[in-house]
């Protein structure tokens, strides 16, 4: 599969318009075609894996933008992750990649610590790594929202990486270990339904596990996106909110294109939070570009920063001074540079939590 | 390029564009060593070392382009403008090394004028991204090439590109009002604000079709249209190609204004239409579409269908026409697209209605008979129609080309020579919209005959050091 995508993509330019890194770096080399051509050329003996070619290999964001716009569904991100695995095994990856892997393998988290969970309930909330370690206020708000609709949840995966980061960096065995640990925790909680807070984790459970790690999500456990769940509660009247007001721009989170079914529900939540539809970015919905909240923040921080700044620049052009998003990782990266663009970053779940009423 | 001179040039370029916008490493140089031309792709595919550029620069504005060209003149090194790298003619190949000037950093929309319906943008903007921005305002740039996802605005103009809906809206060159161009000596110029006037000759059109051999287009103002209220598409099937061409001619000369007439020859109908759209048909498959206000489009369609049905064509209804429209770019995604290790080439050409059928069959016969031993496949579709004639997008495919790269080059060039000789001998142009590039450069003198020396003189006057994209467009 890996070799097929590389061969098919090496001379294909059809996702160029949607590919985020090429767009912000203006460089043919770091487009999906460029990266595939580099990998294909290594296979043909025209290049070897050296610091400059490995830098290119690690420029792919693994956010699914190329695949989301591919008519023939080439799995290039997975193919690149597989090549990174080979490069890592050869000891040729950048030092920062090994450093973050060491932390992931040791703690189960890329950003802090993974906490053990002990509760049990019919419904579990998969908190994840970024929410717990980078935006804890987001988690608090989510609990408040769930309390407001009288849903008792068992928090699981607190500070836990699902395996996405390890897999994306080129460590599939570590990813597999983390994935199995997550599934074990879910089973231990006895949940029949798992709410997932972050889009990256939803992608991991739904797609990355079966496609890259050969792990199947337990068929008897329902996997539900938290934002979609809350939007449904709002529509049913179970989630009752005070009228919101405000003028803000909504930014689709990193990995948004991998979960297009969320585009509508999350905007319904924004409507409720603002009392009006949010302003939209140019890079929105099925063409939503990521910020730097991917493995790029470790392997290619220059690109991670360029991606984040490009979204902030896009936001500034909409005219609103407030930027709204539900994803903890996206919020964390936006916040780093937002003030330089005269923008304030608000968490969607935080905003909604302030509007809850009995 | 190595040694002190290489470092001198590098340091000067770096000063102009900044370190992040200059690449000289082997990896980047290899990626920029091929565009979408079959030959260099095959060359790499066979593991052969390509001729790489020495430097890749990504200027952010015309002033930086100007400075780069001045450096190139000082050191007498080639400059090859690069847009999306999607050209199929080798126009962006650095066959003598030198500087690849990637325009993609110049990607800003400068102004959308909703009153005059124009957009001014830098030349490196991606086609699809520009279209998204216009669609957000209910507008469109009516140039829909198959390469829109990857090509740039400059890449639309430089080889005189044509899009899917050109039959109504014209080629890219028909949509441009004015341009900013950096001449080979670094002089930055702007052409007049509108193209239709009587203030002297139409000299700005020199840069359309020059493919970077006479300067670098850095900005353009393009004519827009409102997104149509309706697009009415349907498909029809003719028993034979001659009737289909004549029906198309009658529709065009009666000015019924279809935005698309896509006519597949019987061989293409049996292979590509079947493979991509899934329809198993015998004959000549035509998609025809009308757009704009729904009632007007419907009336135009009705008149066109009267003509079509007079030729005994079978009306296949809307679904296959709409299906073609919705999947019109699917033909270009691998593994559905033509791809290596096959050998293929698009020998598209254009001529007047009185010659087109004869030209098509002459080329088909020459290619099929000349390379029978290679089991060559020759397919075509007629897709850009004018009041006076039509383009035929002919292609050859050899599924078992030689494994040896040098032998493959020789076979490739023999097929092209055969096809182009047939085209030139039958009153066709060597190209309608892919441009000349490296591939067709050797036919330019034959194409233009006694008019060619004029172009040579212009080239010499504008680019005395011949730094601009050498080896292309006949120069």
- Please check the confidence at residue B397 and state whether its pLDDT lies above 70: yes
Which residue is associated with the tokens 């076979």? B411
Q: Is A287 on the interface with B (CB under 8 A)?
A: yes
Q: Is B45 on the interface with A (CB under 8 A)?
A: yes
Contacts of B365 (CB under 8 A, 6+ apart): B422
Kindly report, residue by residue over B357-383, the tens digit of the pLDDT.
Answer: 999 999 999 999 999 999 999 999 999
Q: Residues of B numbered 413-472 whose beta carbons fall under 8 angstroms of chain A's beta carbons: which are they?
A: none
Closest CA to B57 of B33, B23, B94, B97: B23
- Please check the confidence at residue B187 and state whether its pLDDT lies above 80: yes
Q: Which residue among A14, A52, A56 sits closest to B333, beta carbon to beta carbon? A: A14
Rounded distance between C-alpha atoms, residue B316 and residue A354, angstroms: 58
- Please check the confidence at residue B183 and state whether its pLDDT lies above 70: yes
What's residue A3's pLDDT?
A: 86
Give the nearest chain A residue to B334 (CA atoms). A8
Q: How confident is the model at residue A260 (pLDDT cuts 50, 70, 90)?
A: very high
Which residue is associated with the tokens 């721009």? A249
Helix then strand count (H, E) for chain B reads 16, 19
Rounded distance between C-alpha atoms, residue A35 and residue A30, angstroms: 6
Q: Is A37 on the interface with B (CB under 8 A)?
A: yes
Q: Is A38 on the interface with B (CB under 8 A)?
A: yes
Domain positions in chain A: 2-93, 123-230, 237-353
DSSP string covering B406-444: HHHHHHHHHHHHHHHHHHHHTT--S-SSS--TTTTGGGH
Strand-pair category, B349-352 with B343-346 = unpaired
Angle between helices B241-253 and B353-370 (to 10 degrees): 150
Q: Residues of B numbered 146-185 whose beta carbons fall under 8 angstroms of chain A's beta carbons: which are they?
A: 147-150
- Please check the confidence at residue B127 and state whether its pLDDT lies above 60: yes
Token pair recorded at residue A181: 């640990």
Q: Residue B58 and residue A26: Cβ atoms within 8 Å?
A: yes
Closest CA to A310 of A287, A286, A292, A331: A292
Q: Residues of B numbered 70-99 whose beta carbons fall under 8 angstroms of chain A's beta carbons: which are they?
A: 82, 84-86
Q: Tell me, rounded to whole angstroms, the distance of Cα A285 from its chain centroid.
A: 14
Chain B residues near residue A27 by CB distance under 8 angstroms: 23, 28, 58, 102, 104
Chain A residues near residue B147 by CB distance under 8 angstroms: 13
Strand-pair category, B314-317 with B230-238 = antiparallel
Chain A residues near residue B150 by CB distance under 8 angstroms: 13-14, 16-17
Q: How confident is the model at residue B318 (pLDDT cuts 50, 70, 90)?
A: very high
Q: How confident is the model at residue B437 (pLDDT cuts 50, 70, 90)?
A: very high
Rounded distance between C-alpha atoms, residue B336 and residue B261, angstroms: 23
Class in CATH terms, A237-353: alpha beta
Q: Which residue among A46, A52, A282 sits closest to B25, beta carbon to beta carbon? A: A52
Alpha-carbon dihedral B104, B332, B433, B278, rounded to 10 degrees: -150
Answer for the pair B59, B15: CB distance below 8 angstroms, yes or no. Answer: no
Rounded distance between C-alpha atoms, residue B32 and residue B103, angstroms: 13
Domains of chain B: 3-102 (3.30.43.10), 109-226 (3.30.465.10), 230-332 (3.30.70.3450), 343-439 (3.30.300.330)
Half-sphere exposure of residue B197, counting CA atoms within 13 Å on the CB side? 13
Which residue is associated with the tokens 């680019």? B463
Rounded distance between C-alpha atoms, residue A252 and residue A254, angstroms: 7
Rounded distance between C-alpha atoms, residue A96 and residue B360, angstroms: 60
For range B275-292, the mean pLDDT: 91
| DSSP percent split of chain A into helix, strand, coil, nearest 5 | 55, 10, 35
Rounded distance between C-alpha atoms, residue A160 and residue A205, angstroms: 13
Rounded distance between C-alpha atoms, residue B53 and residue B57, angstroms: 10
Chain A residues near residue B21 by CB distance under 8 angstroms: 26
What's residue B245's pLDDT?
A: 98
Token pair recorded at residue A336: 């780093």
Kindly report, residue by residue over A297-346, the tens digit of the pLDDT.
Answer: 999 999 999 999 999 999 999 999 999 999 999 999 999 999 999 999 99
- Please check the confidence at residue B226 and state whether its pLDDT lies above 70: yes
Q: Which residue among B21, B133, B150 sits closest to A16, beta carbon to beta carbon? A: B150
Give the nearest chain A residue to B50 (CA atoms). A46
Per the prediction, chain A carries an average pLDDT of: 97
Which residue is associated with the tokens 């270009």? B332
Q: Residue B333 and residue A11: Cβ atoms within 8 Å?
A: no
- ipTM, 2 dp: 0.96
- Please check the confidence at residue A358 and state whether its pLDDT lies above 60: no
What is the distance in angstroms between the Cα of A287 and the nearest Cα belonging to chain B? 10
What's residue B204's pLDDT?
A: 87
For range A82-88, the mean pLDDT: 98
Percent of chain B with pLDDT strictly greater than 90: 95
Rounded distance between C-alpha atoms, residue B113 and residue B108, angstroms: 15
Percent of chain A with pLDDT strictly greater than 70: 99
DSSP string covering B238-289: ESSHHHHHHHHHHHHHTT---SEEEEE-HHHIIIIIIIII-----SEEEEEE
Percent of chain B with pLDDT strictly greater than 70: 100
Rounded distance between C-alpha atoms, residue B55 and residue A88, angstroms: 30
Answer for the pair A160, A114: CB distance below 8 angstroms, yes or no. Answer: yes
How many A/B residue pairs have CB atoms within 8 Å? Answer: 119
- Please check the confidence at residue A118 and state whether its pLDDT lies above 90: no
Q: How confident is the model at residue B11 (pLDDT cuts 50, 70, 90)?
A: very high
Give the nearest chain B residue to A282 (CA atoms). B133
What's residue A1's pLDDT?
A: 59
Q: Tell me, rounded to whole angstroms, the distance of Cα B456 from its chain centroid.
A: 23
Q: Which residue among B56, B58, B150 sits closest to A13, beta carbon to beta carbon? A: B150
What is the distance in angstroms between the Cα of A16 and the nearest Cα belonging to chain B? 5
What's residue B101's pLDDT?
A: 98
Answer for the pair B88, B434: CB distance below 8 angstroms, yes or no. Answer: yes
Rounded distance between C-alpha atoms, residue A32 and residue A25, angstroms: 13
Contacts of A167 (CB under 8 A, 6+ apart): A81, A175, A208, A212, A213
Q: How confident is the model at residue B146 (pLDDT cuts 50, 70, 90)?
A: very high
Q: Is A73 on the interface with B (CB under 8 A)?
A: no
- Determine the 3-state secondary structure of B122 from DSSP: strand
Number of residues that make up chain A: 358
Q: Residue A38 and residue B27: Cβ atoms within 8 Å?
A: yes
Contacts of A41 (CB under 8 A, 6+ apart): A47, B30, B44
Kindly report, residue by residue over B229-276, the tens digit of the pLDDT.
Answer: 999 999 999 999 999 999 999 999 999 999 999 999 999 999 888 877
Rounded distance between C-alpha atoms, residue A225 and residue A268, angstroms: 14
Q: Compute the Cα dihedral for B389, B156, B136, B321 and give only its sign.
A: positive
Put simply, whether the predicted model's pTM sits higher than 0.95 gets the answer yes
Token pair recorded at residue B328: 């019109």
For range A57-77, the mean pLDDT: 97
Closest CA to A271 of A318, A316, A235, A236: A235
- Determine the 3-state secondary structure of A139 from DSSP: helix
DSSP string covering B134-168: HHTTTEE-S---TTTTT-BHHHHHTTT---TTHHH
What is the distance in angstroms between the Cα of B463 and the nearest Cα belonging to chain A? 27
Give backbone dihedrals phi and psi of A350, rounded to 5 degrees, phi first: -65, -45
For residue A319, the 8-state DSSP code is S
- Please check the confidence at residue A156 and state whether its pLDDT lies above 90: yes
Class in CATH terms, A123-230: alpha beta
* Structure-model confidence comparison of residues B275 and B208, the more confident one: B208
Closest CA to A56 of B295, B430, B27, B145: B27
Q: Is A227 on the interface with B (CB under 8 A)?
A: no
Q: Tell me, rounded to whole angstroms, the distance of Cα B21 from its chain centroid.
A: 27
Q: Is A43 on the interface with B (CB under 8 A)?
A: no
What is the distance in angstroms between the Cα of A54 and the nearest Cα belonging to chain B? 9
Which residue is associated with the tokens 């996702």? A15
Contacts of B239 (CB under 8 A, 6+ apart): B283, B284, B312, B313
Q: B27, B30, B65: best mutation site toward chain A, by most A Cβ within 10 Å?
A: B27
């Amino acid at each position: 599969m890996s070799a097929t995508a590389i061969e098919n993509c090496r001379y294909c330019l059809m996702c160029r318009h949607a590919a985020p890194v090429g767009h912000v770096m203006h460089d043919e080399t770091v487009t999906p075609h460029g990266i595939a051509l580099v990998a294909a050329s290594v296979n043909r003996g025209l290049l070897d894996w050296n610091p400059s070619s490995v830098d290119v290999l690690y420029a792919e964001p693994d956010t699914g933008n190329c695949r989301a716009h591919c008519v023939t569904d080439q799995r290039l991100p997975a193919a690149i992750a597989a090549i990174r695995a080979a490069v890592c095994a050869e000891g040729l990856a950048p030092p920062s990649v090994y450093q973050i892997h060491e932390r992931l393998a040791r703690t189960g988290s890329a950003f802090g610590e993974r906490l053990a969970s002990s509760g049990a309930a019919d419904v579990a909330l998969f908190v994840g790594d970024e929410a717990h370690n980078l935006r804890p206020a987001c988690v608090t708000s989510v609990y408040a929202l769930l309390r407001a609709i009288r849903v008792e949840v068992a928090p699981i995966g607190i500070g836990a990486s699902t395996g996405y980061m390890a897999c994306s960096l080129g460590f599939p065995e570590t990813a597999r270990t983390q994935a199995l640990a997550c599934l074990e925790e879910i089973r231990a909680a006895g949940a029949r339904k798992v709410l997932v807070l972050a889009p990256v984790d939803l992608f991991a459970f739904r797609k990355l596990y079966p496609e890259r790690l050969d792990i199947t999500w337990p068929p008897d456990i329902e996997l539900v996106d938290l934002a979609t769940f809350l939007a449904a509660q709002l529509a049913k009247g179970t989630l009752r909110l005070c009228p919101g007001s405000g003028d803000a721009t909504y930014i689709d989170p990193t990995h948004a294109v991998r979960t297009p079914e969320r585009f509508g529900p999350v905007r319904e939540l924004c409507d409720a939070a603002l009392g009006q539809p949010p302003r939209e970015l140019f890079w929105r919905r099925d063409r939503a570009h990521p910020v730097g909240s991917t493995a790029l923040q470790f392997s290619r921080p220059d690109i991670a920063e360029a991606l984040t700044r490009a979204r902030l620049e896009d936001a500034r052009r909409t005219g609103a001074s407030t930027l709204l998003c539900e994803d903890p990782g996206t919020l964390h990266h936006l916040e780093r540079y937002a003030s330089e663009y005269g923008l304030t970053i608000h968490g969607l779940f935080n905003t909604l939590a302030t509007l809850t009423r009995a | 390029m190595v040694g002190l001179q290489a470092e001198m040039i590098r340091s000067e370029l770096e000063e102009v564009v900044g370190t992040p916008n200059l690449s000289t490493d082997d990896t980047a140089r290899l990626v920029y060593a091929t565009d979408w031309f079959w030959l260099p792709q095959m060359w790499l595919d066979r593991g052969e070392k390509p001729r790489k550029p020495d430097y890749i620069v990504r200027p952010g504005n015309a002033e930086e382009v100007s400075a780069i060209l001045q450096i190139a003149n000082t050191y007498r090194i080639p400059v090859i403008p690069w847009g999306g790298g999607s050209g199929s003619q080798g126009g962006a190949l650095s066959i003598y090394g030198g500087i690849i000037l990637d325009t993609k950093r110049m990607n800003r929309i400068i102004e959308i004028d909703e009153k005059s319906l124009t957009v001014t943008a830098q030349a490196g903007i991606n086609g699809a991204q520009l279209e998204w921005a216009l669609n957000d305002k209910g507008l469109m740039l009516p140039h829909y090439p198959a390469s829109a996802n990857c090509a740039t605005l400059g890449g639309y103009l430089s080889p005189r590109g044509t899009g899917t809906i050109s039959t109504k809206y014209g080629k890219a060159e028909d949509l441009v009002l004015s341009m900013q161009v950096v001449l080979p000596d670094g002089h930055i110029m702007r052409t007049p604000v509108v193209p239709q006037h009587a203030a002297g000759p139409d000299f700005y059109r020199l840069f359309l079709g020059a493919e970077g051999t006479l300067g670098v287009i850095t900005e353009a103002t393009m004519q827009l249209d409102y997104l149509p209220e309706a697009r009415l598409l349907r498909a029809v099937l003719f028993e034979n190609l001659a009737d289909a061409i004549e029906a198309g001619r009658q529709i065009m000369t009666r000015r019924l204004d279809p935005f698309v007439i896509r006519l597949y020859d019987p061989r293409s109908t049996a292979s590509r239409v079947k493979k991509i759209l899934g329809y198993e048909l015998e004959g000549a498959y035509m998609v025809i579409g009308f757009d704009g206000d729904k009632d007007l489009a419907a009336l135009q369609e009705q008149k066109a269908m009267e003509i079509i049905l007079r030729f005994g064509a079978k009306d296949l209804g809307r679904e296959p026409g709409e299906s073609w429209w919705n999947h019109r770019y699917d033909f270009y995604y691998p593994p559905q697209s033509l791809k290596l290790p096959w050998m293929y080439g698009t020998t598209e050409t254009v001529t007047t209605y009185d010659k087109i059928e004869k030209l098509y069959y002459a080329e088909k016969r020459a290619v099929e008979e000349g390379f029978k031993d290679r089991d060559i496949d020759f397919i075509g579709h007629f897709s850009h129609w004018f009041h006076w004639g039509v383009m035929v997008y002919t292609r050859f495919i050899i599924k078992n080309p030689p494994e040896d790269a040098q032998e493959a080059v020789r076979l490739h060039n023999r097929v092209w020579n055969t096809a182009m000789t047939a085209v030139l001998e039958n009153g066709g142009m060597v190209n309608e919209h892919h441009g000349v590039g490296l591939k067709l450069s050797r036919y330019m003198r034959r194409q233009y005959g006694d008019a060619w020396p004029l172009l040579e003189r212009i080239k010499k006057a504008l680019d005395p050091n011949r730094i601009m994209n050498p080896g292309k467009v006949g120069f």
